Structure 1
Amino acid sequence: MSAARPVEIAVQDPAGARVAMGAGATRLELCQALEVGGLTPSLGLLEAALAATEPSAVNVLVRPRAGGFVYDAEEVALAGADIRACVERGAGGVVVGALTATGGLDIETLRRWRDAAGAATLVFHRAIDAAADPNAVFDMLVAEGVDRVLTSGGASRAIDGVTTLGAFAARSGDVEVMAGGGVTPADIPALFSVGVHAVHLSARARAGHEAPSGPGGGSSGHDVTDVAVVREAVAAATR
């Protein structure tokens, strides 16, 4: 019998969580504001998403603001509090990332956040792709013992970083390498062919274009999780 390799879907609401898991996704990254790369969801959103699906499948993005990954002490403390709150409510994992001003891995912050996460899965996100030397940061993450690294291999899109992704997977040890960044279902076989362990995509579509909008209301429409794209991604991941 064929088996699907892990497919993670980024979702922004409980409906997206139900759609993605119902269509065969392995797990979720829960966030809000995907249009700016994702931010920490509210606790209300987290609790609703946990109630909508299996909590162990929910990995919560903890990112206190947009605009890079270099954080001051107050932001580090805020993210730590959010990590603890997410884990206390039953989230299976947290997704984090922090860099130094020179583009290296902020090890001290990573360790503080790992302590806050306790036994939950610790995922380092695509901050690695903004690092001065993604290869060096990857090796440090392996040494630090994170559970999973979400990366495009330093490219704009994961499919363009496939060679680096394969090199990461070859020396990842116990760390799961998850390819993400502009992933489409058509990219998935090639990504798995180089040895990555999982893929990540948002599977977004636009809805609500007919809704009134205007000054202060932003653009019309909003993102939803497209069940057809999720199904196509899961099918592409089946060996």
Structure 2
Amino acid sequence: MQATAELEIAVQDAAGARAAAAGGAARVELCTALRMGGLTPSQGTMEAVLESAGRAGFVHALVRSRGGGYVYSAEEVDTMCREIRLLKAAGVHGVVVGALTPGRTIDLAALERWVEAADGLPVTFHRALDACADPLGQLDRLAGRGVGRVLTSGGAVRSIDGLAVLAAMASNGPDGVQIMAGGGVRIQDIGALVAAGVDAVHLSAREPFVDQHPAGPGGGAQELDATSLDLVEQARRAIHAR
């Protein structure tokens, strides 16, 4: 465990990455469709983010080809291998992945494929861990698997409600695997999460807004959201308040 936890912000575009950088985040998790849990960002988005906020180690990309659960077919696993290789070629600094078996255990075979495709890039295992029947027990299976960090709420809907499990993960997790608390994180939760001993805190720091231009009958919802520099700064101050 480190003396001061890091701050990671989930962002969807270059403007969000710039806000995260200006607000003092250690890194971003870049994705699209945050309202459905996040999906793999487009190549163009990744290139724009790297150009505008691409300092070393800052941009990590979510690799998730669809919404829904985390049990993937062989074809889906292969698709995500391709995405990882493309993201690596674009210059991403790390990838975020996760897969489960139908028995709600970590799919180590899929993970091995993705770590191999990452070819030395830092790998984070995402909140698929929270859909396991035993998140704390499954965490130990990541030892020696090429994963350097896990994003978890401690198995709860909101990370503040998984505080006891997060503390156990931070105390007893495998060596070399950082514990990053995420999932419904509010600014007022951050102090307790850091006190539990986690290595990092992850949130989206988003504010909703309504697009003033009509989407028409086929364009979907008018409500969008954007990364808030103010919320990022508040999160950074909350981490360093201890």
Does 1:38 pair with 2:7? no
One-letter identity of the residue aligned with 2:45: L
Contact between 1:158 and 1:182, CA under 8 Å: does it hold in 2? yes
Seq. identity, %:
51
Map of 1:134-173 to 2, 5 A cutoff?
Answer: 134-172=135-173, 173=175
SS in 2 for 1:164: helix
Q: 1:223 to 1:55 in 2, by over 3 A?
A: farther
Does 1:19 pair with 2:42? no
Contact between 2:4 and 2:199, CA under 8 Å: does it hold in 1? no
Contact between 2:40 and 2:63, CA under 8 Å: does it hold in 1? yes
Question: How far off its partner does 1:50 sit?
Answer: 0.7
| 1:150-208 C-alpha deviation (Å, 9 max, x unpaired) | 00000000000010001001122211000000001111110010110000000111124
Does 1:180 pair with 2:174? no
Contact between 1:145 and 1:175, CA under 8 Å: does it hold in 2? no
SS in 2 for 1:235: helix
Question: How far off its partner does 1:223 sit?
Answer: 1.2
TM-score, structure 2 normalization: 0.95
How many equivalent residue pairs? 237
Does 1:226 pair with 2:220? no
Map of 1:105-120 to 2, 5 A cutoff?
Answer: 105-120=106-121
**Bigger shift: 36-45 or 214-223?**
214-223
User: How far, CA to CA, are the matches of 2:223 and 2:92 in structure 1?
Assistant: 29
Contact between 2:39 and 2:62, CA under 8 Å: does it hold in 1? yes
RMSD: 1.3
SS in 2 for 1:144: coil
One-letter identity of the residue aligned with 2:156: A
User: How far, CA to CA, are the matches of 1:75 and 1:83 in structure 2?
Assistant: 12
2:215 matched to which residue of 1? 213
User: How far, CA to CA, are the matches of 1:58 and 1:88 in structure 2?
Assistant: 13
One-letter identity of the residue aligned with 2:97: V
Residue of structure 2 aligned with 1:199, choices 176, 198, 201: 201
